[in-house]
Amino acid sequence: MKIEDTPESWDVVDSKERFQGYVIKVVTDTVKMPRDEVADRDYVVHPGAVAVLALDDQDQVLLIRQYRHPTRMLMWELPAGIRDVEGESLVDGAARELEEEAGYRADTWHTLIDLRSSPGMSDERIRVFLARDLTKVETDFVHRHEEIDMPVEWVPLADAVEKALMGMIHNSPAVAGILAAYAASVEGFALLRPADAPEE
């Protein structure tokens, strides 16, 4: 059997919107299951997100720390954001987030990894990019809310891997991105997809 996620859609016999928020909504679908059974499935409809693993020429990863209210934690993360600009490509959105949140631009971009953050309860898609050949830039972006006083730290990639494996970093795009970058570095990043690779 080929090990690859594939599109599939079971019949939905009813759908109810339960909640509409600023970014997400919650729906209940009544889904036709095998053997002619039906079952309700609640899930979050999410616009998707992009994240950036920025790697400098000394193999250090750029991490930011941000308060995340649902977890009641200050979490080390990659620069990231929701897909909220109409018509913006994924890589352009990632470049914007890298500049706004961390004050860097990158000349070299690749698709690092695609994630479904919690597929049992959300349709959220996250594309993590690898950004290299970095330049520090000045930005007039105004940080608000959780982004105020958000520190930026450079961590050696091998140390970041250790911190992820030791349970010191919990953010899923950060953990996946760090481990993917470390694995991809073995082949000199030669196996990575281009930045504009189609999203499945």
Annotated catalytic residue, options 88, 100, 147, 162: 147
Task: Tell me the chain's radius of gyration from C-alpha atoms.
Answer: 18
Contact (CB, 8 A) for 61 and 154: yes
Q: Active site includes 147?
A: yes
| Residue pointed to by tokens 């730290």 | 153
Spatial neighbors of 29 by CB under 8 A, at least 6 apart, are 12, 14, 15, 40, 41, 43
What distance in Å separates the CA atoms of residue 148 and residue 169, rounded to the nearest whole number? 21
Number of helices (H), then strands (E), belonging to the chain: the values are 3, 11
C-alpha 98/C-alpha 106 separation (Å) is 9
Question: How far apart are alpha carbons 118 and 105 in whole angstroms?
Answer: 30
Strands of the 38-45 sheet, one edge to the other:
12-20, 25-32, 38-45
Residues noted as catalytic = 147
